[in-house]
Amino acid sequence: MSSEAQRPGAHERRAGHLVIIGGNEDREEDKLVLRRFIELTGKPQPSIVVLTAASAGQDHKCEAYSQAFTDLGAAACNALELCSRDEANDVKAAERLLQADGIFITGGDQKRLLAVVGGTAVDRALRQAFLEQGKCIAGTSAGASALAQHMMHDGGPKSADGNGKALAAGFGLLERVVIDQHFSERQRLGRLLDVVALNPTLIGIGIDEDTALIVEPEQGIEVVGDGAITVLDGRRMSTNFLEAKEHDALELIDVKLHLLPAGARYSCHAPPDPRRRSSRSGDPRSVPPALHDIVSILTAHRRGFS
């Protein structure tokens, strides 16, 4: 992935990094995931704004992050607390996002987050910070699911009875994917498969706790932390969806599943970037054909801010 020095000039804006975290990231020990987020702001002493609107108890959340980010070198870490859409439409609140070096969206309930922020001045500032300013945006747990255009609702681990599967509109910083978090820990593969089965245009991305999928638009993706990323690709599956009656189980043939461990990096460029190596083995590897297309989707050029 490119360093700050390689970042294009104002005349060729590139969207920033996304740090999509599966929840429960370490804040006290190695802080691998949060450390990478601070690095990706591109500043030695960045100022961070923490968007806490996904959760009702906002004060407490930010304290833990403030301590961690300060430990990691941040010059400032301030919560942007939003309890209503009026507050989220305050231009001063929006301005705070545009002044920050990095934006971190905490967990909680993604429906609450979007109900407060969706469509407001803060929502537009978030997109502008990412798409025009090239800022690094991180989201954890509910904040991770909210980054994509199609947002999975939180729900109990009840895939068997059909709960926890609804989609809603997220912030739209990623397209053509749907993100689930706490993935291995809450055994959500079945639930994500249900979503992909009914929405085969979307690639399902499941992120383990204390693990982040890092997306650098037009460059590549990277997995950081303790766990893995699960990818479900149903685009070539065949299904009896049109024939099946409501409540019938679906026939799904040929869904592709990939598991990408922490340490893995994949470039979207063809021919594959020879510098890309498994950080674990040190051996250079090319992007496997089945994965290349997924990397291209994740890193696709984003439409400009509007």
Q: Which pair of tokens denotes residue 35?
A: 């450390």
Contact 295, 287 (CB under 8 A): yes
What are the phi and psi torsion angles at 32 (to 5°)? -55, -45
Q: What is the DSSP letter of 157?
A: S
Under rule CB under 8 A, residue 272 binds a copy of itself: no
- What sections of 91-187 are H helices per DSSP? 91-99, 110-117, 121-131, 142-145
84 binds a copy of itself (CB under 8 A): no
Near a copy of itself by CB under 8 A: residue from 255, 268, 295, 298: 255
Q: Should residue 131 be labelled a site residue for a copy of itself when binding is judged by CB under 8 A? A: no
- Of the candidate residues 190, 284, 303, 304, the single one contacting a copy of itself (CB under 8 A): 190
DSSP letters of 124-138? HHHHHHHHTS--EEE
Stretch that binds a copy of itself, among 58-66, 88-96, 142-150, 237-245 (CB under 8 A): 237-245
Rule CB under 8 A: choose which of 64, 169, 254, 304 binds a copy of itself. 254
Least distance to a copy of itself, CB of residue 160, Å: 4
Task: Examine residue 83 and tell whether it contacts a copy of itself (CB under 8 A).
Answer: no
Q: Which stretch binds a copy of itself (CB under 8 A): 59-67, 106-114, 173-181, 275-283?
A: 275-283
Question: Under the criterion CB under 8 A, does residue 267 sit at the interface with a copy of itself?
Answer: no
Which CB, 127 or 186, lies closer to a copy of itself?
186
Cβ pair 74, 48 in contact under 8 A: yes
Among the listed ranges 10-18, 46-54, 143-151, 189-197, the one in contact with a copy of itself (CB under 8 A) is: 189-197
Beta bridge partners of 80: 51
Which residue is it, tokens 């922490």? 262
Q: Which is nearer to a copy of itself, 32 or 252 (CB)?
A: 252
Residues 6 or more apart whose CB falls under 8 angstroms from that of 243 comprise: none
Cα angle: 66, vertex 68, 74; to 5 degrees: 70
Contact residues for 114 (Cβ-Cβ < 8 A; gap 6+): 146, 151, 168, 169, 170, 171
Total site size for a copy of itself, rule CB under 8 A: 43
**Interacting residue with a copy of itself among 291, 295, 299, 302 (CB under 8 A):** 291
Binder of a copy of itself out of 240, 270, 303, 304 (CB under 8 A): 240
